Chains A and B, each alone.
Chain A
């Protein structure tokens, strides 16, 4: 149905390059994935990978402070970066005649970040990130759910035990020395994928990439992910946490351990999450929201993460007058109905996933990001074209077997928020 062209090669310094030319619009996406995320952080430095990401926008030897943003805005481009459990990405989408600008900017911060680092910049971005934490987590209803879920689902020595945003204490402890050490350890061509997607001449792009990235030295080997990275396939019991918070409605997060992203049964989990929670005909929406009116909303989500095990989270907010127990009971009962999942259920989910996928791949920035992802995580950019086959290969039998193995109460964490009692 859609075949995204892929040219892949490696620079001598170990940097992976993926080129995907598609000239429908005169824009080009430049996307880099570094194989470092919160999973690589050491004890006492949670949140550091993300704080470091902020420092990458503070200028480098040849790029002044704010230069990264102002040069790209002046070119009519957009840019950002993000940090997650397994990776950190940086990207810009530019009018195609500004490709060289993007490569110059990205190579300068990979090659010459440290000469531009100052304590003042670090202190400023530390404040910004602490405000990001307040905004996303501390001043949001249920805002700490993912932090709590990660602690419940992964043992303390597993790299997913702590959140990407990290703790205020650890952010306070971060020093310029940490920035330097982290940079020297993880920000090397041999830990990076560079993807270009959109309107460019491949031969010209290869020249420019050689010019700007070819001379950067290979870094030392990347240290292994710290802590325990192997996990039992299932939790072997139910873990529970009850949180009293200043919220109006109770909410239940039921989270199941599932196989990591990329495995066959991850795709079963993905399809199952759509059967359960995506759209108004989905099992949990139909029953909990529409029929029983016990829940106000349903969200289901399979985490695309790769170390040891992933998670399928289902959350439901109680309707006014309904309790968390009622929501949880209804949710548990309906998840058990997956034992009857049939062809129509699977077909519905697969169609939705296929349409959604094609829709998101219309954007060059999304295509570039996925190409970097499949290269960084699986060393296989071609998966961008075959992923839909993995989704289509899911059968009702597989969904039923998956549900029986992974979606029982003995393989989940239940995190429940209830309103703080007033006047107690």
Chain B
């Protein structure tokens, strides 16, 4: 055998053809959009009925409303008890779920295609006819209150909640956890939940996505008899209030005495999914903290050994959402790590990224697309995101070109516009006594000590 030349990485072959999902779009007789992607190699189907209303409409007094309402959808309908729903889903082998995000409420399932018809019937019953029975509401409400107690033990949740409250405040839906607070959940009752759902679960405010081993026309025909009296009606507009950006950088320490690590959350409000800067921002974030070789992970993990990992993300909600850089660093490194994150935010908005970083980030996003389209569930996610944010059925047709077109100048401009270390909120959930002096010495802004879970400011130790 001839010796193998290992000195350089082998070259890639010609790129494979990427087949994008083809969406068959139908409109059912009541106006409900139906989006079908036929993918027939395996006898499986993923289904989701998505209501275009989520926790974004939950002002703080009703924080947790959409989350609890979604949780109750599969806990009883007009004709099925909670246990009957669970047993029927299990016997069908259908993993049924209902959940709310900030922008949507989804009832979905994954099932083998021979059992699709009875599974969809069950899904529609759950999504359209929830009973919100008092006993079930009470039970799930208590469960949620207990979960809030549990979450207060989780450093990651504590830090994330404190960050959102510090950034968005007490008058904005994003300031409270999506599952609500003990105060808000305590007053959620049947009427609040039922009204929320009934007013919004309408064909004009929803869509159905089906991906897998299914025929679009046959499916559309089979759905008609299941729609019953579900008819179009006007739905609330649910405007999200404006909020004032913070005046400067503030460090909030959520005291966890004796903690061996500090959970860091650093960031500020960020752009909406519909931002015209979406592609430059994706490339920017990949370079900054969105990949293993990103600047944050390289510096905090591979150079400093401060952490198991560091990353960042733009939430890209419908109304805008946070940009957050996060990491968990050992207690003694807390202040230095905060300084590094803020430095990197500054650096990426003042110096153009290198050609090598740019090429790697663009390829990572562009060539990674096929991995995001592998399973029926993957395709459903992409189609649903496209529909929810009104991106258009052909959005991914030029996705690769749009990623490839992002230049270093675009990244710099996007960073200047959307990253702002001088107005960042820094949350550190860790041992206050051990870390506060070094955080003070950073000199980036006042250091506040806050107590979990509510986040009441106890005292001010900073200048």
Contacts and interface: CB of A to CB of B under 8 A. Distances in A.
A224 B370 CA distance: 42
B95 A248 contact: no
A100 B150 CA distance: 47
Interface string B132-158: 000000010011011101101111000
Interface in B72-111: 74, 82-83, 85-87, 89-95, 110-111
A408 B301 CA distance: 46
A214 B1 CA distance: 10
A248 B153 contact: yes
Contacts of A364: 374
Chain B interface bracket (under 10, 10 to 19, 20 to 34, 35 or more):
35 or more
A161 B88 CA distance: 41
Interface stretch (B29-37, B243-251, B361-369, B405-413): B361-369
A2 interface: yes
B168 to A, nearest CB: 26
B328 interface: yes
B184 to A, nearest CB: 17
A423 to B, nearest CB: 14
Contact of A95 (B16, B154, B329): B16
A25 B112 contact: no
Given A66-B298, A97-B13, A347 B91 contact: yes
Nearest to B88: A281
A348 B89 CA distance: 9
A106 to B, nearest CB: 12
A355 B95 contact: yes
A183 interface: no
Contacts, number: 214
B53 interface: no
Contacts of B155: 139-140
B371 A134 contact: no
Give chain A's interface secondary structure class.
helix
Contact of A355 (B10, B94, B259): B94
Contact of A348 (B74, B87, B298): B87
Interface in B363-406: 363-371, 373-377
B360 interface: yes
A61 B86 CA distance: 55
Interface in A95-140: 95-101, 104-105, 108, 112, 123-132, 134-135, 138-140
B376 to A, nearest CB: 7
A62 B44 contact: no
B41 interface: yes
Contacts of B44: 358-359, 362
B301 A134 contact: no
B451 interface: no
A247 interface: yes
B230 interface: no
Given A108-B6, A348-B90, A362-B375, A76 B305 contact: no
Contact of B370 (A25, A105, A249): A25
Interface in B1-26: 1, 4, 6-18
B129 interface: no
Interface residues of A, number: 80
A301 to B, nearest CB: 17
Contact of B364 (A74, A101, A138): A74
B292 A97 contact: no
Given A95-B16, A248-B149, A320-B149, A358 B112 contact: yes
Interface in B306-332: 306-308, 328-330
Nearest to B151: A248
Contact of B6 (A62, A96, A124, A355): A62
Contacts of B292: 69, 73
A145 interface: no
A41 to B, nearest CB: 20
A354 B110 CA distance: 12
A128 B330 CA distance: 10
B371 A248 contact: no
B261 A138 contact: yes
Candidate in A73, A130, A286 with the most chain B CB atoms within 10 angstroms: A73
A96 B16 contact: yes
24 contacts: A2-B43, A25-B374, A27-B371, A66-B293, A69-B292, A70-B360, A74-B364, A78-B368, A78-B371, A95-B16, A98-B12, A101-B9, A101-B10, A123-B305, A135-B261, A215-B4, A246-B153, A279-B86, A296-B146, A296-B150, A319-B142, A351-B91, A362-B377, A364-B374
Interface of A: 1-2, 24-27, 61-62, 66, 69-71, 73-78, 93, 95-101, 104-105, 108, 112, 123-132, 134-135, 138-141, 199, 210-212, 214-215, 246-249, 279-281, 286, 289-290, 293, 296, 317, 319-320, 344, 347-348, 351-352, 354-356, 358-359, 362-364
Which 7 residue pairs spanning A and B have beta carbons closest together?
Answer: A76-B367, A127-B305, A26-B16, A351-B93, A281-B86, A280-B86, A355-B93
Given A73-B291, A97-B12, A249-B150, 6 more contacts: A2-B42, A131-B328, A139-B259, A280-B82, A286-B83, A320-B146
Interface of B: 1, 4, 6-18, 41-44, 74, 82-83, 85-87, 89-95, 110-112, 139, 142-143, 145-147, 149-150, 152-155, 259-261, 291-293, 298, 301-308, 328-330, 359-360, 363-371, 373-377
